[in-house]
Structure 1
Amino acid sequence: MPYFVDVILPLPLDKRFTYEVSEEEATFLYPGMRVAVPFGKSKIYTGIAANIHQRPPEVYEAKPIHQILDKEALITNNQLKFWQWISTYYMCAEGDVLRAALPGAFLLESEGVIQLKNKEHLSETELNDDEFLLVEALQGQSSLKIQEVMKLLDKKTVLPIINRLIEKEVLVLNQEIYEQYKPKKTRFVKLSENYRDEASMHELLDSLSRAPSQRDIILTYFSLTAKSNKPLKLKNLLKESKASPGTLKALIDKGILEEFYQEIDRVSFSGETTSKEIVFSKFQQKAFSEIKEHFAGNKVGLLHGITSSGKTEIYIQLIKEVLAAGKQALYLLPEIALTTQLIHRLQHYFGDKVLIYHSKYSVNERVEVYRKILYNPGSGQVIIGARSSIFLPFTNLGLVVVDEEHESSFKQYDPAPRYHARDAAVVLGSYFKANILLGSATPSLESYSNAQHHKYGLVELNRRFGDVLVPEIEIVDIKTKHKKKRMTGHFSDRLLEEIKRTLKEDEQVILFQNRRGFSPILECNTCGHSPQCPNCDVSLTYHANNNQLRCHYCGYHIAMQQKCMACHSTDISTKGFGTEQIETELKALFPDHKIARMDQDTTRGKYAFDKIIGAFEQQEIDILVGTQMVTKGLDFRHVNLVGIMNADNLLNFPDFRAHERSFQLMLQVAGRAGRTKKRGKVLIQSYNPNHQIIQQVSTGDYAAMYKEQLEERYNYKYPPYYRIIRFTLKSRDYSTNNTAADWLAKSLTNVFGEYVLGPEYPPVARIRNEYYKNILLKIPQQQSLEKTKEVANKILLSFKSIGAFRSIRVVVNVDPV
């Protein structure tokens, strides 16, 4: 009786594929192991074995697998269960989840490798120039990858050339699999066995008296090895002895020193753990006890603690208890910028037990973290990471903390799976019966509503740590200031006065503007034309530092225009302002002070966040200008003033969450002020100072905002009262996209009636030359979510079978943010 294995392939397929295995392979294989399998005519992919059985597939003949790639499972059973849940809930393929969950180095894919077949029977007259060049190159080396052939011939289309040579039986093409992960090896040195005893050591030093630099290296070696038992790195010996590599090589050639290689971790902590006991205030102690009570009743906890109330200390204490029980703790953060500061704090408590996982890490670094979590779970670990860390191979998870749980960055936008890390973390925690705590100063309406309906346990912490007063919030009416000519650039006289006072007292300032670049619109004052992106329906943003007009959607850029592109008038001006323009104005207003900017343009490198945050903490920067990166839970001791440059562009956004999000952003950025002894100050500049959200921010009244927004959501049928699924249709063909959107909307309306909205163009209806159209499906509470998705999937299946819509991509987004 033959054996079969169901394999999850890293492709957007609706189901698993079945392959044949021998009896020996079937006894060796376990679910979660990687297998290389043939798929299609000649491709080989790495898939994950899901289950082994003896039922042959009905529709097709099972191919045999290519090879087994692991000795033990790389994916745990809980991960497989979790992947299945994500794929069902977020309406995507399991292969999409596999791609998102595993570091790329684990997903080996075949690459074409060509080799010479017949060296003898070659007639050069039969070959054209490109073919001759390729054959000549192959005579010098045994094989070439397809990518190498492209470089060699300086062409993108090399397959026709290779095919011709295969037909002439000159070449063979092998599909080979390459292991991408390479362990990091470092060179170490040690003293040869012959010179270990004292007598031979003295003899050695005497013999080197005529080679002083070699003698210095040996003396340095002795002093360094006396201080530490660890193997000595070759580069450290060179650095300390200040000798040349040639001198060291001479000692190795003489057999006095021996060099050897060792694998080392890319991700390691070399500092000291300086953990102090955490002393809670009475408010923190009360909140901590309440959280423990909710955990005892198996409830998810929601900690609603105002900014600077000491939520992190509570998390650290909970993590301590989990580690003491030998379990793992997952600490989720919305932004990589945040991890930088928090890592240092946690490493002081937990040292090398802290593991970090996010997208700025290289593939090899991610593989190392993955392996550590899988193979050393007993050591008790704290994993800090952005949303993708929910896919790590936990085996013993005891606690999940989701900090700043209201953040929209927890939602994955592209590619699929479009999961929300907060909601997925709650499901993940339930598999391990782990405690789950969501924390925020401004919880999302959905989470707070769950707490009000006793699904979550609510814990309030409304006093700042050390009884520091919450910052004083003042609203500046810039409409009136403009009329009275009291504005300098984009700064009101009031804001400038406060900045001067703060700098005079040696305190720091944070200024928030939710737009990067210099100016979002360049406009001709004669004809009104503003340069648009040729690929997207947006105007180009002016960036002063490289004098370019850039599109923030597709990256298209052109040089700054000196005259209008339409009427050639030279009377052009910029409208609106971004972080770059504020930085430029500040440098002119405060030439003696250090000003820095934190946005997507200045934080491109791996350590860019660390550098800016480190410099600001060390008070090397006086004023920090930033986008919403500066609003997240960063903790700066010397910030006494926060300025929100323009609150209105947050509020006037075509989205049902715009007001909730504005409230959260403004209150979060206000919370960066006055976190030690002195009361901080926050200035909000607005053209509409009487707007209810701005008024609620000024009094920090979360309850009023929650009540008001909830009422609106109820009236207009939005979450938390209704679930939402958004279908986005994308195509390069405008009219086909419209026809397809109408067809899909009509089919959905036939089943769901009034709960289907659209099709409608989004605010930016064309990106990278693709046209977009949205359809919204609302699901009332009493309607089954599973059945709704089943019906929607059937309609999508019919949609895909229509030949005319073959070119249309449908993106399904469950619970869009």
Structure 2
Amino acid sequence: MYFIDVILPIPLKQTFTYSVNKDEAAFLKPGMRVAIPFGKSKVYTGIVYQVHDQAPVGYETKSIDHILDDSPIITTVQLKHWEWLANYYMCALGEVIKAALPSAFLLESETIIKLVQTEILDESSLSDDEFLLYEALLHQSSLHINDARNILDRKNIVSVIQKLLDKNIIEVEETVYEQYKPKLKRYIKLASEYTSEEKLRELLDSLNRAPKQREVLMHLFMLSSKSKKPISATVLQKKSQASASTLKALEEKQILEAYFIQHDRVEFSGETSSDIKTLNEAQLVAYNEIKTSFKTQPVVLLHGVTSSGKTEIYVRLIEEVIKTGKQVLYMLPEIALTTQLIVRLQKYFGEKISVYHSKFSVNERVEVWKNVLAQKPKAQIVIGARSSLFLPFKNLGFVVVDEEHEPSFKQFSPSPRYNARDSAVVLAHLHKAKLLMGSATPSLESYHNAKSGKFGLVTLKKRFGNVLMPDIELVDIKEKSRKKQMTGHFSDRLLEEMREVLSNGEQVILFQNRRGFSPVVECTTCGVAPQCPNCDVSLTFHQYKNQLRCHYCGYNMAMMLSCLACGSETLDTKGFGTEQIETELKSLFPNHSIARMDQDTTKGKHAYSKIIEALENEEIDILVGTQMLAKGLDFRNIRLVGVMNADNLLNFPDFRAHERSFQLLQQVSGRAGRTQKRGKVLIQTYNPYHQILKQVSVNDFEGMYKEQLEERYNFKYPPFYRTVKLIFKDKNLARVQKASVWFGQALEIQFKENVLGPEPPPIGRIKNKYIIHLLVKIAKKQSLEKTKKYIENVRRSFNAIKEFSSVQITIDVDNY
């Protein structure tokens, strides 16, 4: 007897053992997919973990349904990396697999109902619902379970199906559907019998009375003479301005023939320019230092100020690696960034680039996966967001983590709650590849690692072309309000600068880290503000839809005409978001084009690229946006950046608030003046004497780093201590409080004063569940492995307590 251990994409820690025959055992390899029965009627896709001949003790094994792959779709290095992720971030390997694989690879099981006997039954023995299903099956051979639900117009139909099964009238089978469909493109060619000149002339004469069909043929000849490439049906239809019915008529007459070719969904069409920009003196020094560091250090941090030309250095290093035939992974925190970078890199590397992120359809992601696995030239360089580190690299030589400080590299929900930057370091180590991190404002952890010699450190202090760093000015809006020098949310200083910049035909970016029109709508009579019924937050007013929305659970309602509490019609909006800024701008600058970039305006697949393209083509004069704007985008004509209110960044209840504020403001400032003329940044604040704002205004990264590091040391935070956050959720407040206190006391036995909490977070209820946090701090000298084991043991004891069975626990390792 032979057996396989299978990992299922479900949150269970163990593997499951199934029996296979001798031939299957010889064929199967780790990383292949198999369809397997699980439970009473489910069929799952499992990943083969190992093949062996050790029978499990204590239970009978089931056999597999069928094998889904000819060869492994997951490499052994990937499995090692995923095991590390599951172990480090304290989750199940099945959860990592569910997050890592495109959903098309995880086949879905579908229940199909079929009739067993068709001879006439005694219909009086069937209930109304049973008879309806039986009658439907007489007219068609099989029914999908959803069709059965629709016929009976009820959700729970299991009991009806069970009764028909017991009476041996129907049978049930689970079929597994492959979700991936290759993209087929339709092409048109002339039927072979008309290839001779004589036949062709006859054909054209016969079509004198059908001018539209004749026109299609003339365009087909014209396109054929210009190019040897096949002619697609859509191109022919467009060029000849014909309808689909005209083409169909020619096909029915057997004059034209249609055929299909399989195409990749993501294709490059454009010009490549082989010459990579020559590096200037400062870049060349940095490039050589990186090369030298790589001889002794596998990981190097490049600390280069905004617009110093870090991308050009990456390009030079990538070029060297791909010449050796190895693969390159270029990771970015935000999809908005990939849009601009792809265009830049395609100029150098053309078809060698593939892109991988969540805005792509499932089929597009499957194609990239298969291309990387097959080591195809078109996937030699992969640009992607954090999920791209799950791809099946076989020959990875170089990893770039750009904007490494970005919080977007951390996955917060669902499991695995991994940090893509840290996971990429492990991935590069497994492949024996080099990794380069780049940022103008590195995270404290990475900078500390570089300073202490764990990583190599290279600095680039000059902007490309010796362009000056932007001139940063702090505007005291408390003083401006007192002197009545504010117009809405704009100070006279900001408006003055904006008018000057716009009159010179240059562009402006305005940053406000809050979307919507206003975060609070308040009744001026009784002071009541509408709250979300599911979460402890006020509803945000979105003017363009005239509705109040919750940004946590999606609850929405129409904007009220009067107060729900007292009926008064005097409602006032408090605070402001990007939408309100956009509205104010339209009245202040009616003759200029204004656009907004936030989660509401970038929902579509190509929404990012459309806004970025419009800004690059100077079709937008003023762009208002949230922190999406702060991420490494490169625009040539931005002269002024305005920060509408810096205070809501600084006053955030998080030990990283000051570091994040510095990074965000510095990054936003870096969008200004990236060509020869110096840029200007205006930061509006009620507290211009705040230490962080002073450091931003003089680009003092070192000062901020030293000050924050000292605070972190004093209060036992990263990089000196590691953190594990435990999040408790339940619909009953008393139960979740009791559960978190029990868990906290169990942890205090071992970790004493290094356990903080239990404490509710700033928003204590989301989606009708109350939330409590516990934080465990782990000293560097303390064993991380043993600490996690202890927490895991406490969790096991906790799960055994019946009273707490409904309390949901989430463990977040390195919760930053």
Q: How does 1:536-547 map to 2 (within 5 A)?
A: 536-547=535-546
What is the match of residue 619 of structure 1? 618
Q: How does 1:468-487 map to 2 (within 5 A)?
A: 468-487=467-486
The SS at the match of 1:593 is: coil
What is the match of residue 524 of structure 2? 525
Give me the whole-angstrom Cα distance separating, in 1, the residues matched to 2:343 and 2:746.
54
Deviations 1:506-534 (A, max 9, x none): 11000000000111111122222111111
Q: How does 1:347-386 map to 2 (within 5 A)?
A: 347-377=346-376, 381-386=380-385
TM-score by structure 1 length? 0.98
What is the match of residue 490 of structure 2? 491
Deviations 1:396-418 (A, max 9, x none): 11110000000000000111000
Give me the whole-angstrom Cα distance separating, in 1, the residues matched to 2:245 and 2:725.
65
What is the match of residue 457 of structure 1? 456
Give me the whole-angstrom Cα distance separating, in 2, the residues matched to 1:417 and 1:428.
16
Give me the whole-angstrom Cα distance separating, in 2, the residues matched to 1:482 and 1:149.
66
Q: Which amino acid aligns with 1:455?
A: K
Does the C-alpha gap of structure 1 residues 247 and 524 become closer, same or farther in structure 2, counting only changes over 3 Å?
closer
What is the match of residue 410 of structure 2? 411
Give me the whole-angstrom Cα distance separating, in 1, the residues matched to 2:113 and 2:94.
29
Q: Which amino acid aligns with 2:449?
A: N
Q: How does 1:286-685 map to 2 (within 5 A)?
A: 286-377=285-376, 381-685=380-684
Shift of 1:252: 2.2
- Percent identical among aligned pairs is 60
Give me the whole-angstrom Cα distance separating, in 2, the residues matched to 1:724 and 1:385.
28
Give me the whole-angstrom Cα distance separating, in 2, the residues matched to 1:102 and 1:308.
36
What is the match of residue 221 of structure 2? 222
What is the match of residue 729 of structure 1? 728
Give me the whole-angstrom Cα distance separating, in 2, the residues matched to 1:558 and 1:254.
57
Shift of 1:541: 0.7
Give me the whole-angstrom Cα distance separating, in 2, the residues matched to 1:717 and 1:377.
48
Does the C-alpha gap of structure 1 residues 240 and 762 become closer, same or farther in structure 2, counting only changes over 3 Å?
same
Give me the whole-angstrom Cα distance separating, in 2, the residues matched to 1:556 and 1:233.
46
Q: Which amino acid aligns with 2:631?
A: K
Shift of 1:210: 4.8
Give me the whole-angstrom Cα distance separating, in 1, the residues matched to 2:350 and 2:158.
52
CA contact (8 A) 1:646 1:686 kept: yes
* Residue 178, structure 1, aligned to residue 171, structure 2: no
TM-score by structure 2 length? 0.98
CA contact (8 A) 2:276 2:348 kept: no
CA contact (8 A) 1:377 1:395 kept: no
Give me the whole-angstrom Cα distance separating, in 2, the residues matched to 1:203 and 1:569.
83
What is the match of residue 56 of structure 1? 55
The SS at the match of 1:455 is: coil
CA contact (8 A) 1:304 1:442 kept: yes
Give me the whole-angstrom Cα distance separating, in 2, the residues matched to 1:569 and 1:209.
75
Give me the whole-angstrom Cα distance separating, in 2, the residues matched to 1:216 and 1:563.
63
What is the match of residue 14 of structure 1? 13
Shift of 1:626: 0.3
Shift of 1:560: 1.2
CA contact (8 A) 1:300 1:436 kept: yes
Give me the whole-angstrom Cα distance separating, in 1, the residues matched to 2:205 and 2:711.
89
The 10-residue stretch of structure 1 (479-488 or 51-60) with the greater mean CA deviation from structure 2: 51-60
The 10-residue stretch of structure 1 (246-255 or 286-295) with the greater mean CA deviation from structure 2: 246-255
Give me the whole-angstrom Cα distance separating, in 1, the residues matched to 2:227 and 2:160.
59
Give me the whole-angstrom Cα distance separating, in 2, the residues matched to 1:296 and 1:379.
29
What is the match of residue 44 of structure 2? 45
* Residue 701, structure 1, aligned to residue 700, structure 2: yes
The 10-residue stretch of structure 1 (9-18 or 154-163) with the greater mean CA deviation from structure 2: 154-163
Give me the whole-angstrom Cα distance separating, in 1, the residues matched to 2:386 and 2:768.
30
Shift of 1:207: 4.3
What is the match of residue 96 of structure 2? 97
Give me the whole-angstrom Cα distance separating, in 2, the residues matched to 1:794 and 1:56.
29
Give me the whole-angstrom Cα distance separating, in 1, the residues matched to 2:295 and 2:166.
71
Give me the whole-angstrom Cα distance separating, in 2, the residues matched to 1:151 and 1:609.
39
Shift of 1:215: 3.0
The SS at the match of 1:545 is: helix
Does the C-alpha gap of structure 1 residues 484 and 697 become closer, same or farther in structure 2, counting only changes over 3 Å?
same
Give me the whole-angstrom Cα distance separating, in 2, the residues matched to 1:200 and 1:216.
17
CA contact (8 A) 2:372 2:379 kept: no
Give me the whole-angstrom Cα distance separating, in 2, the residues matched to 1:128 and 1:673.
74
CA contact (8 A) 1:731 1:808 kept: yes
The SS at the match of 1:777 is: strand
Q: Which amino acid aligns with 2:510?
A: L
What is the match of residue 777 of structure 1? 776
CA contact (8 A) 2:338 2:383 kept: yes
Shift of 1:240: 1.5
What is the match of residue 714 of structure 1? 713
Q: Which amino acid aligns with 2:106?
A: L
Q: Which amino acid aligns with 1:293?
A: T
Aligned residues: 816
Shift of 1:203: 4.3
CA contact (8 A) 1:327 1:378 kept: no
CA contact (8 A) 1:377 1:396 kept: no
Shift of 1:10: 0.5
- Runs of 4 or more above 6 Å deviation: none
Unaligned runs of 5+ in 1: none
CA contact (8 A) 1:330 1:397 kept: yes
* Residue 76, structure 1, aligned to residue 67, structure 2: no
CA contact (8 A) 1:327 1:377 kept: no
Deviations 1:531-590 (A, max 9, x none): 111100111111111111110000011111222222222232111110011011111111
Q: Which amino acid aligns with 2:799?
A: K
CA contact (8 A) 2:19 2:64 kept: yes
The SS at the match of 2:80 is: helix
Give me the whole-angstrom Cα distance separating, in 1, the residues matched to 2:494 and 2:138.
73
What is the match of residue 796 of structure 1? 795
The SS at the match of 1:413 is: coil
The SS at the match of 1:262 is: strand
What is the match of residue 808 of structure 2? 809
Unaligned runs of 5+ in 2: none
